[in-house]
Chains A and B, each alone.
Chain A
């Protein structure tokens, strides 16, 4: 579960001494320092242990439990006795079932899942999840950047603006969903404002648009604040120098702002992507997953009451998808959240 792209590099850049194995360090000269590091290490272990143990209980245990569960068949009615019995070892058949959209057939084998059943929706849900993720994150990045640039300027009422953008962020997503559901109601204000008569949650395109707008409204402020924090790290004299050298506004944006804000921007995008991939609240409340708005999270929840074991397999697949996306981001796009969190001293690369 390490998020770090290059742990060794960073570690070395940060503190060359503890990088060596402890024994070797002792043989080397720095005995006093080594003892100090050792006693700090002991302290640190004691202080961090409760957090790690608690996280292990609330995350690692359920995950292992889910994996074990996913390798069993769902409980079913025993055809002879008519009672519920555990399904027994299933290997990876639950996973294969999801990936190839195969369901158990009455005669004991498997067949293609019936259209509309939970089992037939894996790939469409995956597509919907990525569709929402890409569109919302792109919109939020562009809008968030614009908001951040405005908020970074000096003008009267700036702190009022910064307070205002926190309002959508503070509202619970469940309330946001209801609010936009009301705005997009057939007789609602959106239709009246635009003079349209769209049944927003009634068909695929408008339903997705409604969810995307609600999500963008709710989470762009977070994006904007993260980008703003990145913008404020850029020293003003860099712009002065570029200006003296005759750089245009656009050149200053692409040559100075973008590269310098990139680390903060990538972390913000990483957070948002991982958050969007597990989107649940908005579609669950606004459409209930109807009209092509079923995300992977919704599909897992829909499956829970049909059978724990295949639900566990699906939740494991979801977790793996998110994990792989995070890995790609960190490895290839340089979104190093841990580096940022550890004080950024390891930016030596």
Chain B
């Protein structure tokens, strides 16, 4: 609204100072709103990091900046004295997230290509099915899979989590890649063929470099989705295969009925920082991937 007010102000035949004042007021309001959003989004995250670095004796200290700084909480997180195996949990999350992402990409990239580039019957139905699949409730899978995996001895195995994870990561992958592929300048492929490239060369030298960022962004989104999964893992993992999300939810402290807040915040920081860095670096691409298909 202010953008148009600004433009309007420029168009106005009213005295210039009034227009300038109004424009200044409008941009001032924009900055105030932006600051509010900024604070609202980052303050809880900031509080997690402050607490993660705070001495356990000062857990509930309300001082808003870093005080009583210590690495102890991170040492607690990775120590196995209290029955936690956080390093193991991290590895599990990488295995589950990694395998899920690779499977979803390898299978989904072909479907996305077909959906974006080819004309065929039932395309609408296929898209509908894939979208419907991504909105499928996890609990409707957990119950039958719990029994099935128990019966065939897969309960607590990696595949017991990877298989249900594919049910929402694969649709997400196909959906995002399809929108990306639809935007790609495919004419270049034909141009390369006309210029004498073989089909293989055209694919390798023209299409691959163009598609790589799209595939990479999709991989990040898919990995984050699998990494953040909690419901399925909380029901189908065991102590050896438990991923970080489940580990953090049931993190054991020194006292049985006392929540080890500072250690949990440290664990949360360890889990979150890589994602946040990834997201900040690829911000533009990720926003494009997230909103791909929802508009246009």
Contacts and interface: CB of A to CB of B under 8 A. Distances in A.
Interface of A: 1-4, 7, 10-11, 14-15, 18, 37, 40-41, 43-45, 47-48, 50-52, 54-55, 57-59, 62-63, 65-66, 69, 146-147, 149-155, 157-175, 177-183, 185, 187-189, 192-193, 217, 221-222, 225-226, 228-230, 233, 236, 239-240, 243, 249, 252-253, 263-264, 267-268, 271, 274-275, 277-278, 280-281, 284-285, 296-297, 300-301, 304, 308, 311-312, 314-316, 318-319, 322, 326, 337-338, 340-344, 346
Contact of A174 (B2, B37, B246): B246
A168 B119 CA distance: 39
A107 to B, nearest CB: 28
B257 interface: no
Interface string B266-296: 0010011001101110011011001101111
Contact of A178 (B34, B174, B268, B283): B268
A182 B258 CA distance: 12
A210 B21 CA distance: 41
B139 A278 contact: yes
A342 B294 contact: no
Given A62-B148, A69-B147, A163-B280, A281 B231 contact: yes
A255 to B, nearest CB: 13
A191 B3 CA distance: 39
Nearest to B39: A164
Residue of A54, A65, A175, A281 ringed by the most chain B CB atoms within 10 A: A175
A173 B31 contact: no
Given A3-B131, A189-B62, A278-B139, A243 B8 contact: yes
Contact of B125 (A2, A57, A158, A185): A2
B265 A52 contact: no
A40 to B, nearest CB: 5
27 contacts: A4-B124, A43-B114, A47-B113, A55-B171, A59-B136, A62-B148, A159-B283, A160-B38, A163-B280, A164-B41, A172-B271, A174-B245, A175-B245, A175-B272, A181-B259, A189-B60, A193-B62, A225-B290, A264-B295, A284-B234, A297-B138, A300-B142, A308-B147, A322-B135, A326-B132, A326-B135, A341-B178
B123 interface: yes
B60 A188 contact: yes
B230 A226 contact: no
B47 interface: yes
Given A58-B167, A226-B291, A236-B3, 5 more contacts: A47-B118, A162-B283, A177-B249, A181-B259, A297-B139
Contact of B145 (A52, A62, A169, A343): A62
Contacts of A264: 294-295
**From DSSP, what is the main secondary structure of chain A's interface residues?**
helix
Given A48-B115, A344-B296, A59 B141 contact: yes
A161 B40 CA distance: 11
B41 A18 contact: no
A48 B179 CA distance: 16
Contacts of A319: 136-137, 140
A340 B45 contact: no
Contacts of B124: 2, 4, 7, 10-11, 14, 338, 342, 346
B130 A51 contact: yes
Interface stretch (B79-87, B103-111, B210-218): B103-111
B119 to A, nearest CB: 6
Contacts of A160: 38
B114 A170 contact: no
A331 B246 CA distance: 38
A280 B230 contact: yes
Interface residues of B, number: 108
Contacts of B108: 51
A318 B246 CA distance: 23
A180 B33 CA distance: 23
B199 to A, nearest CB: 14
Contacts of B244: 172
A146 B47 CA distance: 24
Contact of B128 (A2, A43, A59, A312): A2
B110 A47 contact: yes
Interface string B198-232: 00000000000000000000000000100110110
B44 to A, nearest CB: 6
A175 B249 CA distance: 8
